[in-house]
Amino acid sequence: MRQWLLRVWVLCWLILVWMLLWGSVSAANALSGLAVALVITVLLPLPPVPIEGKLHPLSLLRLTVQVAYYLVLSSVQVAWLAIKPGPPPRTAVLRAHLALKSDLVLALAVNVINLIPGSIVLEIDQTRRMVYVHVIDVGSDRSVNRFYHQIGEVERLMIASFERESDWKASPERDRA
């Protein structure tokens, strides 16, 4: 039943995206969107993504608020770096370890890190759970520590939102890989 509902949700989502691309809601757009959605889901199926944890809505809300705060704070910091007089800020590639078990949650964490202005993930070492991030303004120990604090906070909130130890159950697909 869950698989069927998920497929229906994906079809509805793809139809909505199709109508948004065309810019109007009509029966013709809905039918052509359904046709395109069926072609995509039947002929070009994505591999199943193992769901190994449980969603905790309050922790997800805390994660969302924290990421929004980091977005605003980092945007102000990057804007200040752009207009302040003096030499350009020092940049570096920093390595951080993320203790996330699920590949899906790791991908979500990398996307969150990429959303924070002033940092972009350059490489992911999936087996060792290491990310290499290009960071703007690493001219002081305080700046570097702020980056590691942000990464640690994102990691902690991701675990609280999706990977609590009490709810963790490894997917059967993990054993086959």
Q: Domain residue spans in the chain? A: 2-43, 57-167
Give the pLDDT band of residue 161 (cuts 50, 70, 90): very high
In angstroms, rounded to a whole number, what is the distance separating the alpha carbons of residues 130 and 106?
A: 10
Dihedral angle over CA of 145, 107, 20, 47, nearest 10:
180
Task: Judge whether 95 and 121 are in contact, CB under 8 Å.
Answer: no
Structure-token pair, residue 73: 């704070």
Cα–Cα distance, 164 to 174 (Å, whole number): 18
pLDDT at position 96, please? 96
The chain-wide mean pLDDT, for the chain, equals 89
Residue 175's pLDDT band, with cuts at 50, 70 and 90, is low
Tokens of 92: 């570096």
Query: In the numeric block, which tokens belong to residue 43?
Result: 């002929």
Pick from 53, 55, 71, 60: nearest CA to 150: 71
pTM over 0.95: no
